[in-house]
């Protein structure tokens, strides 16, 4: 008797817990690219459904999200969409509650098949990943996070670095008069979820790989004589000393073989792959929430996918994956964010990545 091959099961969640001023302005303006909605799941799945044979996958649709927490709230919810309300949601562990809901859905309705999340807020990754930890165990599951931001630094440490930037940088993007920058909790959210997975021992440091990070302190930063920056530098040092594999954005450009070598280090039976689409922000694509760090090219992105395919070809099983951090108010139209995300899914989940579809297809 043969065992049926696990299928890829797609699910979405358009949670957009973004307290950036720019995000609120975009939501108030109420504009989406013509022909596109505010759920990236629909846009990416329209491409997948045309290009991948349906017997290989299944669609579960998107989890419901309150209107005011979506990328484009309706006019009736506009009064609820305030920075203060978003901060209350985030600091009150609202992101964790959504992640836990996803975990329950994956455990009850997807496993033993392979979940593939198409979401907005990157903190949702923790829910899908935790369902797989419960199934396989943390010692048998590696986590590869491809992201321009580390997401593994405590909120208080990040806040200190922001404070230093405001105090010393005349061109700082932060406003010292913004009360939303102060007295924040160490909640679980898009910029800290990996930190929480480590602290809660859901992922072993030696099984965690952070790829493409652009916020890694350089030698100049390490020499700054300020306690806030010293804590920031020390947080990164602790990550690497503990065994976390780190490949910076600079490494991807100057030493691309470093990523291939790092992927060869994976020795767990299973791997979860999480892709924050801001890895290509301002270069390959524009339709992402955080564009403060310029990302890598489309060609470089597919090279990452190629290295991940080699990892899977070497006997590591794909336990699950996601593509996250879309900004539907900017994605679509001439922007390539949805197209590249669909290509990456085809490349990694279905082994079709060596020749991604042509741009604009």
pLDDT band at 355 (very low <50, low <70, confident <90, very high): very low
What is the SS3 string spanning the chain?
CCCCCCCEEEEEECCCCCCCHHHHHHHHHCCCCCCCCCCHHHHHHHHHHHHCCHHHEEEEEECCCCHHHCCCCCHHHHHHCCHHHHHHHHHCCHHHHHHHHHHHHHHHHHCCCEEEEEECCHHHHHHHHHHHHHHHCHHHEEEEEECCCCCCCCHHHHHHHHHHHHHHCCCCCCCCCCHHHCCCCCCCCCCCHHHHHHHCCCCCHHHEEEEEECCCCCHHHHCCCCHHHHHHHHHHHHHHHCCCEEEEHHHHHHCCHHHHHHHCCCCCCEEEEEEEHHHHECCCECCECCCCCCCCCHHHHHHHHHHHHHHHHCCCEEEEEEEECECCCCCCCCCCHHHHHHHHHHHHHCCCCCCCCCCCC
Query: Residue 177 above 70 pLDDT?
Result: no
The most confident of the ranges 147-161, 300-314, 317-331 is 317-331
In tens, the pLDDT along 81-136 reads 888 899 899 999 999 999 999 999 999 999 999 999 999 999 999 999 999 999 99
Q: Rounded mean pLDDT of 45-61? A: 95
pLDDT band at 179 (very low <50, low <70, confident <90, very high): low
Query: Residue 297 above 50 pLDDT?
Result: yes
Query: Residue 221 above 90 pLDDT?
Result: no
pLDDT at 30: 84
Q: Which residue reads 């696990």 in tokens?
A: 6
Task: Collect all residues with Cβ–Cβ distance below 8 Å to 177 and sequence separation of at least 6.
Answer: none
User: What are 272's strand-pairing partners?
Assistant: 143, 320
CB 99 within 8 A of CB 132: no
Q: How far apart are CA 200 and CA 88, in angstroms?
A: 23
Query: Residue 175 above 90 pLDDT?
Result: no
Between residues 105 and 214, the one the model is more confident about: 105
Q: What is the mean pLDDT of the chain?
A: 91
Query: Residue 299 above 70 pLDDT?
Result: yes
Share of the chain above pLDDT 70, in %: 95
| Joined tokens for residue 258 | 């470093």
Longest dimension (CA), the chain: 69
Query: Residue 282 above 80 pLDDT?
Result: yes
Share of the chain above pLDDT 90, in %: 68
- Give all strands of the β-sheet with 8-13 in edge-to-edge order: 57-62, 8-13, 114-119, 317-324, 270-276, 141-146, 208-213, 245-248
pLDDT at 180: 62
Q: How far apart are CA 125 and CA 229, in angstroms?
A: 28
Lowest-pLDDT range, 119-123, 205-209, 355-359? 355-359
pLDDT at 341: 97
Q: How far apart are CA 278 and CA 121, in angstroms?
A: 12
pLDDT band at 361 (very low <50, low <70, confident <90, very high): very low
Calculate ∠ Cα 76-80-83, nearest 5°: 140
């Amino acid at each position: 008797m043969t065992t049926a091959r696990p299928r890829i099961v797609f699910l979405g969640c358009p949670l957009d817990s973004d307290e950036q001023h720019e995000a609120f302005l975009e939501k108030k303006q109420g504009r989406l690219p013509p022909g596109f909605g505010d759920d990236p799941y629909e846009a990416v799945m329209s491409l997948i459904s045309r290009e991948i044979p349906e017997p290989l996958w299944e669609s579960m649709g998107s989890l419901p999200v309150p209107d005011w927490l979506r990328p484009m709230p309706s006019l009736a919810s506009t009064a609820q969409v305030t920075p203060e309300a978003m901060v209350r949601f985030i600091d009150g562990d609202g992101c964790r509650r959504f992640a836990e809901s996803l975990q329950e859905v994956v455990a009850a309705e997807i496993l033993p098949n392979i979940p593939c999340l198409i979401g907005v807020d990157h903190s949702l990754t923790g829910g899908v990943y935790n369902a797989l930890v419960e199934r396989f165990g943390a010692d048998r599951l590696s986590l590869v996070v491809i992201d321009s931001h580390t997401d593994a630094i405590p909120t208080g440490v990040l806040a200190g670095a922001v404070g230093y930037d405001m105090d010393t940088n005349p061109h700082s993007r932060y406003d010292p008069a913004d009360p939303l920058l102060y007295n924040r909790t160490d909640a679980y959210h898009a910029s800290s979820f990996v930190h929480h997975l480590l602290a809660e021992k859901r992922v072993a440091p030696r099984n965690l790989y952070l790829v493409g990070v652009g916020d890694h302190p350089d030698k100049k930063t390490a020499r700054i004589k300020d306690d806030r920056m010293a804590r920031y530098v020390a947080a990164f040092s602790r990550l690497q000393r503990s065994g976390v594999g780190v490949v910076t954005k600079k490494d991807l450009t100057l030493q691309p073989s470093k990523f291939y070598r790092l992927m060869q280090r994976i020795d767990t039976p299973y791997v979860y792959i999480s892709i924050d689409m801001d890895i290509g922000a301002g270069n390959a694509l524009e339709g992402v929430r955080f564009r403060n760090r310029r990302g890598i090219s489309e060609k470089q992105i597919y090279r990452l996918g190629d290295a991940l395919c080699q990892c899977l070809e070497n006997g590591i099983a794909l336990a699950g994956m996601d593509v996250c951090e879309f900004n539907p108010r900017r994605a679509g139209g001439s922007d390539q964010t949805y197209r590249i995300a669909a290509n990456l899914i085809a490349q990694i989940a279905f082994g079709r990545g060596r020749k991604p579809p042509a741009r604009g297809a």
